Amino acid sequence: MSTTETSFSFDPLANRADPYTGYRWLREHDPVHHDAESGMWILTRHADIQALLRAPATWSNDHRRSHTHQDWLKGMGAPPAADELLAKVLLFMDPPNHTRLRSLVSKAFTPKRVEALRSRVEAVLEDILSPLRERGEMDVIGDLAYPLPVTVICELLGVPVEDRDLFRQQTRELAVILEWQLGPDDFMAAGMAAVAFATYFLPLFEQRRCEPRDDLVSALVAAEDDGDRLSPEELLTTCVLLLTAGHETTMNLIGNGLLALLRHPDQWQHLCEGPALVRGAVEELLRYDSPVQLTARTATCDTEIDSRRIREGDQVVALLGAANRDPAAFVDPETLDVGRTDAGHHLSFGGGPHFCLGAALARIEAQVVFTALAALGGLELTVDEPEWRQRFTLRGLERLPVRLAV
Protein backbone atom coordinates (compact mmCIF):
# COMPACT_ATOMS: atom_id res chain seq x y z
CA MET A 1 0.00 0.00 0.00
CA SER A 2 1.31 3.45 -0.88
CA THR A 3 2.08 6.27 1.54
CA THR A 4 -0.87 8.18 0.13
CA GLU A 5 -3.20 5.33 0.96
CA THR A 6 -1.99 4.83 4.52
CA SER A 7 -2.32 8.55 5.24
CA PHE A 8 -5.90 8.74 3.96
CA SER A 9 -8.37 9.80 6.67
CA PHE A 10 -12.01 8.96 6.08
CA ASP A 11 -14.28 11.86 7.05
CA PRO A 12 -17.85 11.12 5.95
CA LEU A 13 -19.07 14.61 6.84
CA ALA A 14 -16.40 16.44 4.85
CA ASN A 15 -18.54 16.60 1.71
CA ARG A 16 -22.16 15.74 2.43
CA ALA A 17 -23.26 17.06 -0.97
CA ASP A 18 -21.02 14.52 -2.75
CA PRO A 19 -19.57 11.66 -0.71
CA TYR A 20 -19.30 9.55 -3.86
CA THR A 21 -16.04 11.07 -5.12
CA GLY A 22 -14.34 9.94 -1.90
CA TYR A 23 -15.98 6.53 -2.16
CA ARG A 24 -14.63 6.11 -5.68
CA TRP A 25 -11.10 6.98 -4.57
CA LEU A 26 -11.24 4.42 -1.77
CA ARG A 27 -12.75 1.74 -3.96
CA GLU A 28 -10.05 2.21 -6.62
CA HIS A 29 -7.03 2.66 -4.32
CA ASP A 30 -7.76 1.04 -0.95
CA PRO A 31 -11.01 -0.99 -1.04
CA VAL A 32 -10.32 -2.66 2.32
CA HIS A 33 -9.24 0.46 4.17
CA HIS A 34 -8.10 0.64 7.79
CA ASP A 35 -9.01 3.98 9.34
CA ALA A 36 -6.22 4.81 11.77
CA GLU A 37 -8.23 7.34 13.77
CA SER A 38 -11.26 5.16 14.52
CA GLY A 39 -9.61 1.75 14.25
CA MET A 40 -12.36 0.59 11.91
CA TRP A 41 -12.10 -1.15 8.58
CA ILE A 42 -14.00 0.37 5.65
CA LEU A 43 -15.30 -1.62 2.67
CA THR A 44 -16.38 -0.06 -0.63
CA ARG A 45 -16.73 -2.92 -3.14
CA HIS A 46 -20.09 -4.51 -3.86
CA ALA A 47 -18.80 -8.10 -3.75
CA ASP A 48 -17.00 -7.65 -0.41
CA ILE A 49 -20.00 -5.99 1.21
CA GLN A 50 -22.50 -8.49 -0.14
CA ALA A 51 -20.37 -11.36 1.17
CA LEU A 52 -20.12 -9.70 4.59
CA LEU A 53 -23.90 -9.17 4.84
CA ARG A 54 -24.55 -12.82 4.00
CA ALA A 55 -22.18 -14.30 6.59
CA PRO A 56 -23.68 -13.58 10.06
CA ALA A 57 -21.59 -16.31 11.70
CA THR A 58 -18.40 -14.37 10.88
CA TRP A 59 -19.79 -10.83 10.97
CA SER A 60 -21.84 -9.96 14.04
CA ASN A 61 -24.46 -7.21 14.37
CA ASP A 62 -24.06 -7.18 18.15
CA HIS A 63 -22.28 -3.89 18.82
CA ARG A 64 -21.10 -5.17 22.22
CA ARG A 65 -18.59 -7.46 20.47
CA SER A 66 -16.74 -4.47 19.03
CA HIS A 67 -13.59 -3.08 20.68
CA THR A 68 -14.46 0.29 19.13
CA HIS A 69 -17.93 0.28 20.68
CA GLN A 70 -16.65 -0.59 24.12
CA ASP A 71 -14.10 2.23 23.99
CA TRP A 72 -16.80 4.62 22.79
CA LEU A 73 -19.21 3.53 25.55
CA LYS A 74 -16.61 4.18 28.24
CA GLY A 75 -15.93 7.59 26.78
CA MET A 76 -19.65 8.40 26.90
CA GLY A 77 -19.98 7.32 30.49
CA ALA A 78 -23.15 5.50 29.45
CA PRO A 79 -24.91 3.27 32.00
CA PRO A 80 -24.90 -0.50 31.30
CA ALA A 81 -28.72 -0.42 31.10
CA ALA A 82 -28.52 1.73 27.97
CA ASP A 83 -26.27 -0.81 26.29
CA GLU A 84 -28.57 -3.66 27.28
CA LEU A 85 -31.58 -1.86 25.81
CA LEU A 86 -29.72 -1.27 22.52
CA ALA A 87 -28.94 -5.00 22.44
CA LYS A 88 -32.69 -5.70 22.25
CA VAL A 89 -33.02 -3.71 19.01
CA LEU A 90 -33.52 -6.02 16.01
CA LEU A 91 -30.76 -4.22 14.08
CA PHE A 92 -28.14 -5.14 16.71
CA MET A 93 -29.04 -8.80 17.22
CA ASP A 94 -27.48 -12.03 15.97
CA PRO A 95 -29.03 -15.47 15.50
CA PRO A 96 -30.66 -17.18 17.28
CA ASN A 97 -32.11 -14.13 19.08
CA HIS A 98 -32.45 -12.20 15.82
CA THR A 99 -34.10 -15.17 14.11
CA ARG A 100 -36.63 -15.53 16.94
CA LEU A 101 -37.51 -11.83 17.13
CA ARG A 102 -37.71 -11.31 13.36
CA SER A 103 -39.92 -14.37 13.02
CA LEU A 104 -42.36 -12.98 15.58
CA VAL A 105 -42.36 -9.49 14.05
CA SER A 106 -42.81 -10.92 10.54
CA LYS A 107 -46.05 -12.59 11.67
CA ALA A 108 -47.49 -9.10 12.16
CA PHE A 109 -45.65 -7.27 9.36
CA THR A 110 -46.77 -9.49 6.48
CA PRO A 111 -46.45 -8.68 2.75
CA LYS A 112 -50.24 -8.93 2.43
CA ARG A 113 -50.76 -6.37 5.20
CA VAL A 114 -48.21 -4.03 3.62
CA GLU A 115 -49.52 -4.33 0.04
CA ALA A 116 -53.03 -3.61 1.32
CA LEU A 117 -51.72 -0.19 2.36
CA ARG A 118 -51.11 0.97 -1.24
CA SER A 119 -54.57 2.50 -1.67
CA ARG A 120 -54.30 4.17 1.73
CA VAL A 121 -50.88 5.63 0.79
CA GLU A 122 -52.46 7.05 -2.37
CA ALA A 123 -55.29 8.62 -0.35
CA VAL A 124 -52.94 10.16 2.23
CA LEU A 125 -50.73 11.55 -0.54
CA GLU A 126 -53.72 13.13 -2.30
CA ASP A 127 -54.72 14.86 0.95
CA ILE A 128 -51.17 16.23 1.18
CA LEU A 129 -50.83 17.28 -2.45
CA SER A 130 -54.22 18.94 -2.89
CA PRO A 131 -53.42 22.21 -1.05
CA LEU A 132 -49.83 22.19 -2.39
CA ARG A 133 -51.08 22.21 -5.98
CA GLU A 134 -53.08 25.35 -5.24
CA ARG A 135 -50.15 26.99 -3.46
CA GLY A 136 -47.85 26.29 -6.40
CA GLU A 137 -44.74 25.60 -4.29
CA MET A 138 -43.59 23.36 -1.48
CA ASP A 139 -40.71 22.17 0.62
CA VAL A 140 -40.69 18.55 -0.50
CA ILE A 141 -39.20 17.39 2.81
CA GLY A 142 -41.41 19.22 5.30
CA ASP A 143 -44.60 19.33 3.23
CA LEU A 144 -44.58 15.84 1.69
CA ALA A 145 -41.65 13.50 2.38
CA TYR A 146 -42.04 13.70 6.17
CA PRO A 147 -45.84 13.70 6.66
CA LEU A 148 -46.61 10.89 4.21
CA PRO A 149 -44.51 8.05 5.69
CA VAL A 150 -45.02 9.15 9.29
CA THR A 151 -48.80 9.17 8.77
CA VAL A 152 -48.70 5.73 7.15
CA ILE A 153 -46.49 4.09 9.78
CA CYS A 154 -48.50 5.63 12.63
CA GLU A 155 -51.74 4.37 11.09
CA LEU A 156 -50.14 0.95 10.64
CA LEU A 157 -48.99 0.85 14.27
CA GLY A 158 -52.28 2.27 15.55
CA VAL A 159 -50.92 5.55 16.95
CA PRO A 160 -53.76 8.14 17.20
CA VAL A 161 -53.51 11.02 14.76
CA GLU A 162 -53.32 13.62 17.53
CA ASP A 163 -50.14 12.02 18.89
CA ARG A 164 -48.10 11.84 15.68
CA ASP A 165 -46.43 15.22 15.87
CA LEU A 166 -45.00 14.22 19.26
CA PHE A 167 -42.68 11.81 17.48
CA ARG A 168 -41.05 14.09 14.92
CA GLN A 169 -38.22 15.43 17.06
CA GLN A 170 -37.93 12.26 19.13
CA THR A 171 -37.41 10.01 16.12
CA ARG A 172 -34.69 12.34 14.81
CA GLU A 173 -32.96 12.32 18.18
CA LEU A 174 -33.14 8.55 18.49
CA ALA A 175 -31.98 7.89 14.91
CA VAL A 176 -28.53 9.26 15.77
CA ILE A 177 -27.61 5.95 17.44
CA LEU A 178 -27.01 4.71 13.87
CA GLU A 179 -24.57 7.47 13.02
CA TRP A 180 -20.86 7.25 12.27
CA GLN A 181 -19.96 9.85 14.88
CA LEU A 182 -22.03 10.25 18.04
CA GLY A 183 -21.20 12.80 20.73
CA PRO A 184 -22.27 12.88 24.40
CA ASP A 185 -25.06 15.41 23.72
CA ASP A 186 -26.43 13.23 20.93
CA PHE A 187 -26.34 10.18 23.16
CA MET A 188 -28.12 11.97 26.00
CA ALA A 189 -30.81 13.28 23.61
CA ALA A 190 -31.30 9.76 22.25
CA GLY A 191 -31.67 8.47 25.80
CA MET A 192 -34.32 11.06 26.61
CA ALA A 193 -36.19 10.20 23.41
CA ALA A 194 -36.10 6.51 24.37
CA VAL A 195 -37.62 7.34 27.76
CA ALA A 196 -40.36 9.37 26.06
CA PHE A 197 -41.17 6.48 23.72
CA ALA A 198 -41.27 4.04 26.64
CA THR A 199 -43.63 6.33 28.54
CA TYR A 200 -45.94 6.43 25.52
CA PHE A 201 -45.82 2.86 24.23
CA LEU A 202 -45.73 0.67 27.35
CA PRO A 203 -49.26 1.68 28.45
CA LEU A 204 -50.41 1.33 24.82
CA PHE A 205 -49.23 -2.29 24.77
CA GLU A 206 -51.36 -3.05 27.82
CA GLN A 207 -54.36 -1.35 26.23
CA ARG A 208 -54.00 -3.44 23.07
CA ARG A 209 -53.51 -6.61 25.11
CA CYS A 210 -56.85 -6.00 26.81
CA GLU A 211 -58.64 -4.47 23.82
CA PRO A 212 -56.96 -5.56 20.56
CA ARG A 213 -57.60 -3.61 17.36
CA ASP A 214 -56.77 -4.10 13.70
CA ASP A 215 -53.33 -2.50 13.94
CA LEU A 216 -49.70 -3.55 14.08
CA VAL A 217 -49.27 -2.94 17.82
CA SER A 218 -52.13 -5.37 18.52
CA ALA A 219 -50.64 -7.88 16.09
CA LEU A 220 -47.20 -7.60 17.71
CA VAL A 221 -48.68 -8.02 21.19
CA ALA A 222 -50.52 -11.14 19.99
CA ALA A 223 -47.68 -12.59 17.91
CA GLU A 224 -46.75 -16.02 19.21
CA ASP A 225 -44.59 -18.92 18.11
CA ASP A 226 -44.76 -22.17 20.13
CA GLY A 227 -45.79 -20.21 23.22
CA ASP A 228 -43.06 -17.60 22.76
CA ARG A 229 -44.08 -13.92 22.71
CA LEU A 230 -42.32 -10.58 22.55
CA SER A 231 -41.28 -9.16 25.92
CA PRO A 232 -42.25 -5.55 26.80
CA GLU A 233 -38.70 -4.41 26.02
CA GLU A 234 -38.78 -6.19 22.65
CA LEU A 235 -42.18 -4.71 21.85
CA LEU A 236 -40.86 -1.25 22.68
CA THR A 237 -37.65 -1.45 20.67
CA THR A 238 -39.49 -3.01 17.70
CA CYS A 239 -42.19 -0.31 17.59
CA VAL A 240 -39.64 2.47 17.97
CA LEU A 241 -37.47 0.94 15.23
CA LEU A 242 -40.46 0.65 12.87
CA LEU A 243 -41.55 4.20 13.64
CA THR A 244 -38.08 5.71 13.26
CA ALA A 245 -36.82 3.70 10.29
CA GLY A 246 -40.31 3.60 8.80
CA HIS A 247 -40.32 7.30 8.06
CA GLU A 248 -36.70 8.52 8.21
CA THR A 249 -35.49 6.31 5.37
CA THR A 250 -38.53 6.83 3.14
CA MET A 251 -38.37 10.57 3.71
CA ASN A 252 -34.76 10.54 2.54
CA LEU A 253 -35.56 8.29 -0.43
CA ILE A 254 -38.19 10.76 -1.63
CA GLY A 255 -35.99 13.82 -1.09
CA ASN A 256 -32.75 12.38 -2.46
CA GLY A 257 -34.58 10.77 -5.36
CA LEU A 258 -36.45 13.88 -6.47
CA LEU A 259 -33.30 15.99 -6.22
CA ALA A 260 -31.46 13.50 -8.45
CA LEU A 261 -34.28 13.53 -11.00
CA LEU A 262 -34.56 17.31 -11.14
CA ARG A 263 -30.79 17.56 -11.60
CA HIS A 264 -31.11 15.16 -14.54
CA PRO A 265 -33.96 16.70 -16.58
CA ASP A 266 -33.78 14.02 -19.27
CA GLN A 267 -34.44 11.28 -16.70
CA TRP A 268 -37.22 13.30 -15.07
CA GLN A 269 -38.78 13.71 -18.51
CA HIS A 270 -38.53 9.97 -19.19
CA LEU A 271 -40.40 9.26 -15.96
CA CYS A 272 -43.04 11.92 -16.62
CA GLU A 273 -43.68 10.52 -20.09
CA GLY A 274 -43.52 6.88 -19.01
CA PRO A 275 -45.10 6.34 -15.58
CA ALA A 276 -44.82 2.57 -16.11
CA LEU A 277 -41.09 3.05 -15.44
CA VAL A 278 -41.75 3.95 -11.80
CA ARG A 279 -40.94 0.58 -10.19
CA GLY A 280 -37.55 0.36 -11.87
CA ALA A 281 -36.99 4.08 -11.34
CA VAL A 282 -37.41 3.70 -7.56
CA GLU A 283 -34.78 0.94 -7.55
CA GLU A 284 -32.45 3.20 -9.51
CA LEU A 285 -33.00 6.09 -7.10
CA LEU A 286 -32.25 3.76 -4.19
CA ARG A 287 -29.03 2.74 -5.93
CA TYR A 288 -27.95 6.18 -7.06
CA ASP A 289 -28.21 8.00 -3.72
CA SER A 290 -29.09 5.56 -0.96
CA PRO A 291 -31.00 6.90 2.06
CA VAL A 292 -28.90 4.54 4.21
CA GLN A 293 -25.20 4.95 3.44
CA LEU A 294 -23.60 2.35 5.67
CA THR A 295 -23.98 -0.55 8.02
CA ALA A 296 -21.43 -2.04 10.43
CA ARG A 297 -20.43 -5.52 11.55
CA THR A 298 -17.94 -6.91 14.06
CA ALA A 299 -15.60 -9.83 13.32
CA THR A 300 -16.40 -12.84 15.50
CA CYS A 301 -13.02 -14.43 14.74
CA ASP A 302 -9.74 -13.61 13.03
CA THR A 303 -10.40 -13.53 9.30
CA GLU A 304 -9.27 -11.94 6.03
CA ILE A 305 -10.76 -9.75 3.34
CA ASP A 306 -8.68 -9.43 0.19
CA SER A 307 -5.56 -10.59 2.10
CA ARG A 308 -6.06 -7.93 4.80
CA ARG A 309 -6.11 -9.47 8.26
CA ILE A 310 -9.18 -8.55 10.35
CA ARG A 311 -8.94 -9.49 14.01
CA GLU A 312 -11.75 -10.71 16.26
CA GLY A 313 -13.54 -7.69 17.72
CA ASP A 314 -12.57 -5.36 14.87
CA GLN A 315 -15.45 -3.33 13.50
CA VAL A 316 -16.01 -3.23 9.74
CA VAL A 317 -18.04 -0.45 8.11
CA ALA A 318 -19.73 -1.43 4.85
CA LEU A 319 -20.35 1.64 2.70
CA LEU A 320 -23.58 0.70 0.94
CA GLY A 321 -23.50 3.92 -1.06
CA ALA A 322 -20.07 3.00 -2.43
CA ALA A 323 -21.13 -0.55 -3.29
CA ASN A 324 -24.10 0.85 -5.23
CA ARG A 325 -21.73 2.68 -7.57
CA ASP A 326 -19.22 -0.13 -8.06
CA PRO A 327 -18.50 -0.56 -11.80
CA ALA A 328 -17.87 -4.25 -11.15
CA ALA A 329 -21.57 -4.57 -10.24
CA PHE A 330 -23.30 -1.91 -12.37
CA VAL A 331 -22.88 -0.64 -15.91
CA ASP A 332 -21.86 3.04 -15.98
CA PRO A 333 -22.71 3.38 -12.26
CA GLU A 334 -22.20 7.16 -11.98
CA THR A 335 -25.04 7.73 -14.47
CA LEU A 336 -28.65 8.05 -13.33
CA ASP A 337 -30.83 5.93 -15.63
CA VAL A 338 -34.50 5.35 -14.72
CA GLY A 339 -34.64 2.63 -17.38
CA ARG A 340 -31.64 0.76 -15.95
CA THR A 341 -32.02 -3.02 -15.87
CA ASP A 342 -29.32 -3.83 -13.30
CA ALA A 343 -30.44 -1.50 -10.45
CA GLY A 344 -32.28 -4.27 -8.61
CA HIS A 345 -29.18 -5.73 -6.95
CA HIS A 346 -28.37 -2.53 -5.07
CA LEU A 347 -27.60 -2.94 -1.37
CA SER A 348 -29.62 -0.01 -0.04
CA PHE A 349 -31.84 -2.36 1.98
CA GLY A 350 -28.85 -4.33 3.23
CA GLY A 351 -28.78 -8.07 2.68
CA GLY A 352 -28.74 -11.47 4.31
CA PRO A 353 -30.80 -12.09 7.46
CA HIS A 354 -30.89 -8.35 8.23
CA PHE A 355 -32.47 -7.37 4.90
CA CYS A 356 -34.72 -4.40 5.68
CA LEU A 357 -38.03 -5.53 7.14
CA GLY A 358 -39.76 -2.42 5.80
CA ALA A 359 -38.41 -2.61 2.24
CA ALA A 360 -41.79 -3.46 0.71
CA LEU A 361 -43.50 -0.51 2.42
CA ALA A 362 -40.74 1.92 1.43
CA ARG A 363 -41.01 0.77 -2.18
CA ILE A 364 -44.80 1.20 -2.23
CA GLU A 365 -44.62 4.69 -0.74
CA ALA A 366 -41.91 5.80 -3.16
CA GLN A 367 -43.71 4.33 -6.17
CA VAL A 368 -46.92 6.16 -5.22
CA VAL A 369 -45.08 9.45 -4.61
CA PHE A 370 -43.04 9.47 -7.82
CA THR A 371 -46.06 8.45 -9.88
CA ALA A 372 -47.99 11.42 -8.47
CA LEU A 373 -45.10 13.86 -8.83
CA ALA A 374 -44.47 12.75 -12.41
CA ALA A 375 -48.14 13.47 -13.16
CA LEU A 376 -47.57 17.05 -11.95
CA GLY A 377 -44.79 17.30 -14.52
CA GLY A 378 -43.43 20.80 -14.13
CA LEU A 379 -41.38 20.85 -10.95
CA GLU A 380 -38.46 23.26 -10.63
CA LEU A 381 -35.81 23.60 -7.91
CA THR A 382 -35.79 27.06 -6.34
CA VAL A 383 -32.30 26.73 -4.82
CA ASP A 384 -28.99 25.84 -6.46
CA GLU A 385 -27.60 23.85 -3.54
CA PRO A 386 -30.13 22.32 -1.10
CA GLU A 387 -29.04 21.95 2.51
CA TRP A 388 -28.06 18.46 3.66
CA ARG A 389 -28.73 17.29 7.20
CA GLN A 390 -25.80 17.06 9.60
CA ARG A 391 -25.85 13.25 9.46
CA PHE A 392 -24.22 10.59 7.36
CA THR A 393 -25.61 7.09 7.94
CA LEU A 394 -29.16 8.28 7.24
CA ARG A 395 -28.40 10.55 4.32
CA GLY A 396 -31.01 13.18 3.59
CA LEU A 397 -31.89 16.80 2.95
CA GLU A 398 -32.95 19.38 5.48
CA ARG A 399 -35.19 21.10 2.92
CA LEU A 400 -35.95 20.77 -0.79
CA PRO A 401 -37.91 23.82 -2.03
CA VAL A 402 -39.55 23.44 -5.43
CA ARG A 403 -42.01 25.37 -7.58
CA LEU A 404 -44.84 23.78 -9.52
CA ALA A 405 -44.42 25.28 -12.97
CA VAL A 406 -47.54 26.14 -14.93
Residue 92: what pLDDT? 85
CATH superfamily, with its number, for domain 3-404: Cytochrome P450 (1.10.630.10)
Rounded Cα gap, residues 284 and 183, in angstroms: 34
**pTM, full prediction:** 0.91
The alpha carbon of residue 152 and the mean position of all alpha carbons in its chain are separated, in whole angstroms, by 16
Closest CA to 151 of 127, 181, 187, 174: 127
Contact 24, 46 (CB under 8 A): no
Q: How many CB atoms lie within 10 A of CB 62?
A: 17
Residue 86: what pLDDT? 67
Residue 84: what pLDDT? 64
Amino acid at 129: L
Mean pLDDT by runs of 10 across the 406 residues of the chain is: 49 81 95 90 98 96 70 56 67 88 82 87 96 94 94 88 77 76 74 86 93 91 80 88 86 98 96 95 98 95 96 95 98 97 95 92 96 91 92 93 86
Q: How many helices (H) and strands (E) does the chain have?
A: 17, 12
Cα Rg for the chain, rounded, in angstroms? 21
Contact 61, 93 (CB under 8 A): yes
Residue 69: what pLDDT? 55
Residue 3: what pLDDT? 36
**Which residues in 348-378 are b (16+ Cβ under 10 Å) and which e?**
bbbbeebebbbebbbbbbbbbbbbbbbeeee
Residue 171: what pLDDT? 80
